Amino acid sequence: MKISASIYSAANKPLADLVAELDQHEVDYFHVDCNDNTKVFDDIAYCNAHSTTPIDLHIIADKPESYFDAIRQARIKQVSFQFENFHSPIAFPSDLHCEIGLAITSNTPVEAFEAYKNTCSYVLLMTTTPGQSGGKFDKNTFRKIRQFQKAYPDKKIQVDGGVNAEVSFILRNLGVDSAVVGSYLFSKNYVGAALLNLKKEVVGSHYLVQDFMLLLDELPVLQAAQLSFANALQTIEDYKMAFVLVVNEQGVLQGLISNADVRRGLLKNIHQLNQIDVADCINLQPRCITTDKTIYDLLLFIKQSAFPIQYLPVVDENRLLKGALLFTNFIKGEL
């Protein structure tokens, strides 16, 4: 996951010193918030004159079209426009010479992106007040990320607001492409250490598994009474997650059928495939984690596992299925 450093979050540091320090630590982007102020383009010009780090611009203005000419003339990698400031639909021109994104706040549904999907290559999910530094991350954003990924799988996601080392770990796990970081980055005595935390470590543990797991309505789940080999295969195919979870009528987890379990079931009945029984494919003792575990607990659990974990059912203390964790996006988030 790329880190976009919010340059106006370091208000007490001269821009020249800030650019040099961020370049020394090879930050991925300079994030520039434009709160309807054309003077930010002077700062962008300075950054471009003294650095090759790409500019990540966020326009918060009632008339975003008034900035099109300035964007054309500046050397900008990507620019997002704050949706809530639009008074009418905006037609983004094709000659801005940069990637275009749509920024939306926590209260705006991801469906707002629909009207702009043909011109925007990414969404910027704001978890705090646009243009203001130091806010607290809104954990409802985790589900919003998954909703957007499902609706627009070919679009990128950027997150801005309250990102620290622990949130960064979750965002990487969810497959987020980039995160805007301000207060966390510059409140540390050493920017390099903060960047390392954002990319590698988990510092502290304030979020629980239940805060960012996939919920039941997002998962392939079958009741044991309805289970057959055919509908197990069809459910695995429909959800594209490589597994299906099996519960009883009360919602208690009974087992899990993965692609590997299907393979083992087929091998067991290789000479009589027309008689295969779904019971030969179900793992009745899948590894699980409970909703109240912290990220530290989760990492320790994975580390102690004797085999790689790609997905993990989440249950309560009574083994009632509550959700699941997927780890397939984690590698994507690291690129």
**pLDDT on residue 305:** 84
Strands (E) across the chain are located at: 2-6, 29-34, 55-59, 78-82, 99-104, 122-126, 156-160, 178-181, 214-215, 221-223, 243-247, 253-258, 289-290, 311-315, 321-326
264 vs 303: CA distance, rounded Å: 25
For 285-321, how does the pLDDT look when each residue is reduced to its tens digit (9 = 90+)? 999 999 999 888 888 888 888 888 889 999 999 999 9
**pLDDT on residue 87:** 92
User: Does the pLDDT at position 189 exceed 60?
Assistant: no
21, 194, 280 from 187: Cα distances, Å: 14, 9, 56
Q: pLDDT band for position 39 (50/70/90)?
A: very high
Given a contact cutoff of 8 angstroms between Cβ atoms, the answer to whether 179 and 157 are in contact is no
80, 206, 298 from 209: Cα distances, Å: 31, 10, 8
Mean pLDDT of the 154-162 span:
94
Give the CATH class of 2-204.
alpha beta
User: Does the pLDDT at position 92 exceed 80?
Assistant: yes
**pLDDT on residue 334:** 47
| Residues contacting residue 20 through CB under 8 Å, at least 6 positions apart | 50
Beta bridge partners of 108: none
Nearest residue to 215 (alpha-carbon basis) of 293, 140, 303, 137: 140
- 226 CB burial (10 A radius; 0-12, 13-18, 19+): exposed
- CATH architecture, domain defined by 214-333: Roll (3.10)
**pLDDT on residue 133:** 58
DSSP 135: P
Given a contact cutoff of 8 angstroms between Cβ atoms, the answer to whether 124 and 80 are in contact is yes
332 vs 76: CA distance, rounded Å: 24
Given a contact cutoff of 8 angstroms between Cβ atoms, the answer to whether 46 and 75 are in contact is no
DSSP 294: B
Q: What percent of the chain has pLDDT over 90?
A: 67
Mean pLDDT of the 102-130 span:
93
Domain ranges of the chain: 2-204, 214-333
DSSP 107: T
Beta bridge partners of 179: 3, 159
**pLDDT on residue 202:** 56
Beta bridge partners of 257: 244
Given a contact cutoff of 8 angstroms between Cβ atoms, the answer to whether 256 and 282 are in contact is yes
Hey, what are 164's tokens?
């620290």
DSSP 285: S
